[in-house]
Chain A
Amino acid sequence: MVFTWLQAAILLFFLGGILFAAGPLVGSLLLAPKAHGGAMGESYECGVPTHGNSWIKFGINYYFYALIFLAFEVDILYLFPVAAAYASPQGLATTFKLLVFLAVLAAAVVYFMRKGVFTWPRKIQVSPRP
């Protein structure tokens, strides 16, 4: 046999997953009548007309907070497997790699600190302040 049973099972599950996701979409494409026109093409569905268009400038404050979240979150997330693996000794090279990883994430935090994000201002200036 070309596959082992494990590989066959993985392939079967993969196929099942694709069918599970695509099946309803294809089914509705084939079986459902299609309504169109009116407000069907609008992006919002709360019953209120869309105001203005989406090509406007909007504040990137939340983007910053998302990045901070990411910096700390990714830190924690990837340190869990490290902590699990450190139960057995790993050698100096691994420690160095870990420090590089931490340094990159710390750079992001330092960057935000320099930008004054941690004073939690009402408005974050992207350009350096005078």
Chain B
Amino acid sequence: MAPQNPSLAPAVNTVDPALIAQPAVQKLVDVCRAMSIWPMTFGLACCAIEMMAVGMARFDIARYGAEVFRPSPRQSDLMIVAGTVNKKMAPAVVRLYEQMPAPRYVMALGNCAISGGPFNIENQYNVIQGVDTLIPVDVYVPGCPPRPEALLEGLFAIQQKMTGRRWWQVPQGGQS
């Protein structure tokens, strides 16, 4: 997939381990991290509307500790790529990712961020065909746009990735 973006360099992702890297300590800290994820205020297209809905009272991402949307990458640990990444925007996305402190997580929200979605067509000249060609993505949330519940489920998946267990009950009719 890499040669499709000849002018764009993928993000630099060098991470040194923590000074106190004992699993016992890090496990505890990981739970703290998972319960207080700070996403970045960062929306690129229509999917961002769903992200806003998630922050509001009805879906209320605050119930899961992730309501503090930060306007600065230096303070956020989750980048929700909500929308279409085009070639003009891609360098900014990469820079923002590089400026996030470790441990950093990326959620590709919506088909556009996952694969180009509706813009994944022949001779596409403008839209990045999947943000994972530029930055490492942890969780893919499909949909066009995904329902707010799907975003919450993506958040749970990231929490599971951080701590190794699922924290919230599986909704009726769903499977984990």
Contact = CB atoms under 8 A, between A and B. Distances in A.
A36 B11 contact: no
Contacts, number: 69
B165 interface: no
Nearest to B17: A33
Nearest to B104: A35
A30 B20 contact: yes
B98 interface: yes
Nearest to B32: A31
A35 B102 contact: yes
Given A29-B19, A30-B19, A36-B14, A45 B74 contact: yes
Contacts of B91: 47, 49
A31 B22 CA distance: 10
Given A37-B12, A45-B73, A48-B92, A32 B103 contact: yes
Contacts of A37: 12-14, 98
| Chain B interface category by residue count | 20 to 34
Contacts of B15: 33-35
Interface residues of A, number: 17
A34 B98 contact: no
Contacts of A48: 92, 95
A45 B99 CA distance: 7
Contacts of B14: 35-37
